[in-house]
Structure 1
Amino acid sequence: MSRRTALPAAFTRLSSASALTLTAEQLALAAAPLAAVVVLGAGATETALLQVAQTLPFLLLAMPFGLLVDRHSPRPFLLGAEALRTATLLSVVALLLLDALTFPALLALGLIGAIGTVAFSVAVPATVPAVVERERLVDANRWIELGRSTAYIAGPALGGALVSLAGASTAFIVATVVCAAAVVLLTGVALPDRPAATHPEPALRSLGEGLRFALQHDLLRPMILTSMIFNVGWFLVQAVFVVHAIDRVGMTPATVGIALGVSGAGGLLSAFAARWLSDRLPLGVLMIVGPICGLLAAVVLVATLWIPSSVIVFASFFLFGFGPVLWAISTTSLRQAVTPLPLLGRVSSLMIVSTYGARPLGAGLAAVISALAGLDWCLVAAAVVFAAQLVVALASRLPRVRRLPEQDPRPASAAEASPAR
């Protein structure tokens, strides 16, 4: 099949809805703490609690949602998730316009909205293989990541600008409209129904089946471990970056913002380049570019301890943006290709849990290291962690994968057999 053949209309709607929902999410994530501070007079403790509320559902609900995605038709699940997010955003708008918003209400609505985000995040990668042929998975995931990178650049910038220029209510109104547009797109997505199990296994046994399959698979296991270690290192950096950039490198808040934007630009360029690279490189080489870029970025950032230059910081953050998007596109495609469709929701949710679960671990490790040894050692420790994730990836079979498997993955009944070679 030619690579130039258009992707199915169902995927186009699904990927467009994904881009819209991510944009709305980033708008809301930028607007919520600003609204808390500007409108409600919240302090650091309150904004930290807001971050906890918006991330906790990823840890608690990703695996149960993965099981639901595997057992039920994905279309109502996607629609329900996005409708829930739209309703919470609309509630925030109403409370703001009525001058009735309180911090507990903002906290609760942020938590409920994040539940919809988790559901959508689990459902999308589990749904793509149902509407896209196997040989087009890399191209399809490239479009998903292109939308994600665009949202991560445009969403926070637009959210901050709207709050500053037109008030928090305007930012939430725009986010609500964008989210509602995603619902409209999803209503037109034709997705195949999954056959209902006549005698479904107990939930814990089903979750264990997904865990065993992923952790015993010689491609999925290092994929999950590499992503987890990467996020520990990334949040070691994130936890201390602003202080390091301003106090040690001499950057301003504006140039710190530029660095974050450069990271997004790196991801956007990576998504654009993925098709060209995938036509010329084996899939395994494409995957390893991500861990390599992570280590290079960390080493470049450590260099600012001796050469405090914002240009070096920009180079580091460009690599932090470029590599992970290539990793996400290639590993998501491989995960979808080697996982039986009845298990894909649970396997995808395990990736989300390992990724988000690693983030507070990295931030907590940064707090301990900075308290005991100083900020500089956090950056050094991050470089060591990024070296570890590259070692894990290189020691696995991932670099030797040349292309997506041509045969369908094993049926769910074979999930506990030895991984296919």
Structure 2
Amino acid sequence: MPSTSSAVSDSGRSVPSSLWRDRDFRRLWVGQTASQLGEHTASIVLPLLAVLTLDADAGELGVLRAVGQAPLLLLSLFAGAWVDRWRTRTVMAATDAGRTLMLGTAGVAGLFGWLGLPALLVVALAVGALSVFFDVAYQASVVRLVRRERLLQGNSALEGSRSAAQIGGPALGGALVSLLSAPVAAASGAVFFALSFLSIRRIRRTESIPEHPEHPEHPERPPRVWRRIRKGLSFVVGDISLRTVCLASAAFQFSFAAMMTVYLLFLPRELHLSGGAVGLALAATGPGALLGAMLAARLPSRFGYGPVLVSAAALGDGVFLCVPALHGSSAVTVPTLLAVNFVFGAAGQLVNVTVMAVRQAVTPDGMQGRAAATITFVGMGTAPLGSLLGGFLAMGWGVRTSLLVTAAGMMLSPVVMASSPLARLGRALPAGQNAPLTAGRSAVHGPGSRPSDDVG
């Protein structure tokens, strides 16, 4: 009989009943937390490095952000299939090592004046691509390292650290740029990835690679990835609710990426805010998202899923329309920006969690992963184009006018939802639903965020 403090795993090894007593899980959690903090710190450090050190113009900043986001479009549908063929510890450690090298090299090159925009584009592309693989790998590693009855506890711990990094990362990145200079901040960001590497490498539990379900008798034969991807795409296109979510997500991500490119120029150049003030303003989305997650547990069942989706998207996206009117000292503009980003984070997270519940309700268990990946692919696939457009608009129309236009474009998302059957969903989810999960992936709007079902 196992003791009260441990259980026997499928492989015969004793596994502590509390995950926090499990040294391997603690190492995974520390590594994932450090990696997420490094990723979200870099999301603000690299653009500020381009603007403040390389004097990048609007078009160049748009290109930089588009290049950093491109791996989400190019790799997100395939990363899962590739990660399944490798041990997740190997994937995570390799991506940590790569990101440490890239950010450290960029920081040193910037200090000595050797860094140019082409090299920074390579760094942004590499960090973005490696981050896609790390994010897929750490989610797969939970299933392989944690007993099934502890999965909820494990996922809650890991997603909690992701949310904390989304809150603290931008603020920390802005503070590092303000206090140490942008090149030193980039090199400092590499420390987080190095810490993640050291922690992940210390995981000792033997990890088996799952057999391919399509060919269990021939595990060396790769699964039919394209066929599975096509089935996921067909399912989402054929469901009116999921199709609407895709369209609304694509409209939001395109306009949001364009707006953020202009926004990152507007704050330091038009409002003359320091790097620390920029990071503080952006970090306000995090506390707002925590409030939005709490509201999502009550409001849809009281007022209806459709009305909550449309109203929250309209409020969260519309609040940015007041930002182009800001002038004056930081004593006035910073509190206003904090309020804007707080409202944006709260409404955005309310939309994210509500949409996630709807998606899970209308999607069969065997299609959940592919439905989520398809929505992410379609939505985030428009982000690089939006970033490019934001840079070009800022060059041609000026920063303030472009900010107003791109913020107005974000209102397309609630319009798409309001004109669809999704807006008429009542206080109960569709019949035959799966149990909605309101403690799933947190997706805070902000630079470098990786939303799951963001539509507004």
Q: 1:153 to 1:252 in 2, by over 3 A?
A: farther
**Alpha-carbon distance in 2 for matches of 1:193, 1:279:** 40
1:292 equivalenced with 2:292 (yes/no) = no
**Alpha-carbon distance in 1 for matches of 2:35, 2:302:** 29
Deviations, residues 299-319 of structure 1 (Å, cap 9, x unaligned): 445578999996776544323
| Uncovered stretches (5+) of structure 1, i.e. residues with no partner | 408-421
Q: 1:121 to 1:73 in 2, by over 3 A?
A: same
**Alpha-carbon distance in 2 for matches of 1:77, 1:264:** 29
* Aligned AA (1:195): E
User: In proportion to residue count, which structure has more helix?
Assistant: 1
**Alpha-carbon distance in 2 for matches of 1:39, 1:303:** 29
Q: C-alpha displacement at 1:37, in angstroms?
A: 4.7
Name 2:6's counterpart in structure 1. Answer: none
Q: 1:360 to 1:144 in 2, by over 3 A?
A: same
**Residues 15-164 of structure 1: pairs in structure 2 closer than 5 A:** 16-40=30-54, 42-96=56-110, 100-125=114-139, 131=146, 133=148, 137=152, 143-164=157-178
Q: 1:296 to 1:213 in 2, by over 3 A?
A: same
Could you tell me whether the CA contact under 8 Å between 2:246 and 2:378 is conserved in 1?
yes
Cα root mean square deviation, aligned:
4.8
Matched pairs, number: 395
**Alpha-carbon distance in 1 for matches of 2:433, 2:97:** 35
Deviations, residues 155-189 of structure 1 (Å, cap 9, x unaligned): 23322332332234432332122112222333428
Q: 1:307 to 1:76 in 2, by over 3 A?
A: closer
Name 1:193's counterpart in structure 2. Answer: 209
**Alpha-carbon distance in 1 for matches of 2:344, 2:190:** 30
Q: 1:350 aligns with which of 368, 371, 374?
A: 374
Could you tell me whether the CA contact under 8 Å between 2:288 and 2:346 is conserved in 1?
yes
**Alpha-carbon distance in 2 for matches of 1:149, 1:169:** 26
Deviations, residues 297-339 of structure 1 (Å, cap 9, x unaligned): 3344557899999677654432320133344456568868956
Q: C-alpha displacement at 1:21, in angstroms?
A: 1.7
Q: 1:267 aligns with which of 283, 289, 314?
A: 289
Q: 1:284 to 1:341 in 2, by over 3 A?
A: farther
Could you tell me whether the CA contact under 8 Å between 2:72 and 2:380 is conserved in 1?
yes
**Alpha-carbon distance in 1 for matches of 2:197, 2:303:** 36
Name 2:429's counterpart in structure 1. Answer: 400
* Aligned AA (1:31): V
Q: C-alpha displacement at 1:281, in angstroms?
A: 7.1
**Alpha-carbon distance in 1 for matches of 2:179, 2:268:** 26
Query: Which secondary structure state, in structure 1, belongs to the residue aligned with residue 410 of structure 2?
Result: helix
Deviations, residues 243-279 of structure 1 (Å, cap 9, x unaligned): 89999xx9664777654333233124445x37xx648
Name 1:387's counterpart in structure 2. Answer: 415
TM-score after normalising by structure 1: 0.71
Percent pairwise identity: 26
**Alpha-carbon distance in 2 for matches of 1:160, 1:100:** 22
Name 2:342's counterpart in structure 1. Answer: 318
* Aligned AA (2:230): G
